[in-house]
A = this chain, B = another copy of it.
Amino acid sequence: MDFRLIQTCPDSKARAGELITPHGIVPTPVFLPVGSQATVKTLTPQELKDIGIPMVLANTYHLYLRPGIGVIEQMGGLHKFMAWDKPILTDSGGYQIFSLAALCQVNDDGILFRSHIDGSQHFITPEQIIQFQETLGADIIMVLDECPAHDDSLEKVQTAMTRTHQWAERCQRAQRRRDQILYAIVQGGVFPKLRRQSAKYLASLGFAGYAIGGLSLGEPKEVTLATIEETVVLLPESKPRYLMGAGSPDDLLEGIARGIDMFDSALPTRVARNGALLTRQGRHNIRNAAYSRMEQPIDPGCDCYTCHTFSAAYLHHLFSCDELLGYRLATIHNLYFINNLVQEIRNAILNGTFSSFRDNFWADYQPTDEQTRISQKGKWLKSRRSGE
């Protein structure tokens, strides 16, 4: 058994459970920090443990290009390489190939692409992606999927979905290691019909877990949420559901309310390095002059190392000087905040108080306005090459 459902909320689809993995038990809902290149940017594994992070994500595409799967194999696998002895999930890298690689050509066999780092040409198949992930040795591994853009036509999205289904079957057949847990990825873009078709089809193949891919890519938030709702109802109750690429505080809360158990996103760590600190009120830009003389920590109620040790003024100073310590301290705070939020949500589900928790959250929280959010996301998608 890879997943145990413990409690469901009577007023929503929220649920609390546990992932059972070779490297330990992970309470759900859970947020996985992104460590694509075998490092959660700026932090040591010890700091991740101190924050309370139960599981991290790494990326097969990134690690295949650098340092190479063979290097990590020689170093004794991904856990040992990055000195992280708790559970790891490796993404197949499907999304990263389609969004980062140059000259990406897909056919039924696999994907031909050029590395975004050195332009070298590669062809990889679903079978190889499974083999790479078996060599890396993560606890949970993902099928190779084809991930269309959020504004692609129905025909294009349908073709990608059908191919994703075929590849999911091939990945399933290619799996040799039985100690790793393989998840499928539902595609279908923002088309409810396709999402339902994809969820049903993949559910019929009997995977150990189901991810929802191809969301949070620039579409409006209400479309994201509606698509999650359409999809979740067709996924098996007894299996974990994983929303890929979502990680703002409101994404987490509303995803959980719709039945999601697992999340990953570079958002908390990426915005930290831009000086955006997350609190229950929303995002605060530490570069703002208002913080230059603030003796209190950025989030006075927070128990993280950053808030316990430093004033907002010190953090403001570090960002003014572009000091690397600033990026670290902001990352520690944001991951602590997100991890703590998810734990509080889990406790609320267990205590039967999720609905009031959700109401209280929204009474305090000021989300990033939709236009700013989409424009920032778009800029990031265009510019990112940093492997997060």
Q: Quick one: closest B residue to A37, CB to CB?
A: B321
* A175 → B minimal CB distance (Å): 27
Residue A120 at the B interface, CB < 8 A? no
Q: How many residues of A contact B (CB 8 A)?
A: 39
Residue A239 at the B interface, CB < 8 A? no
Q: Quick one: closest B residue to A306, CB to CB?
A: B44
Digitize A248-275: 1 where CB-to-B-CB distance is under 8 Å, 0 elsewhere. 0000000000000000000000000000
Chain B neighbourhood of A41, CB < 8 A: 323-325
- The answer on a CB contact under 8 Å between B39 and A71 is no
- The answer on a CB contact under 8 Å between A309 and B39 is no
Number of copies of chain A assembled together: 2
- The answer on a CB contact under 8 Å between B324 and A67 is no
Residue A373 at the B interface, CB < 8 A? no
Residue A75 at the B interface, CB < 8 A? yes
Task: Show 24 residue pairs from A and B whose CB-CB distance is below 8 angstroms, ordered by the A residue.
Answer: A37-B317, A37-B323, A39-B321, A39-B323, A41-B323, A42-B324, A42-B325, A42-B328, A44-B328, A46-B305, A46-B309, A66-B317, A67-B316, A67-B320, A71-B313, A75-B311, A76-B295, A81-B311, A81-B313, A81-B317, A82-B314, A83-B309, A324-B324, A324-B327
- A44-B325, A75-B314, A81-B311 given; 7 more Cβ-contact pairs under 8 Å: A38-B317, A75-B293, A81-B314, A82-B314, A83-B309, A321-B387, A324-B324
Q: Which 9 A-B pairs have the closest CB atoms?
A: A67-B317, A42-B324, A39-B325, A83-B309, A37-B321, A39-B323, A75-B313, A81-B314, A324-B324
**Which residues from chain A sit less than 8 Å from chain B, CB to CB?**
37-39, 41-46, 66-67, 71, 74-76, 81-83, 292-293, 295, 305, 309-311, 313-314, 316-318, 320-321, 323-325, 327-329, 387
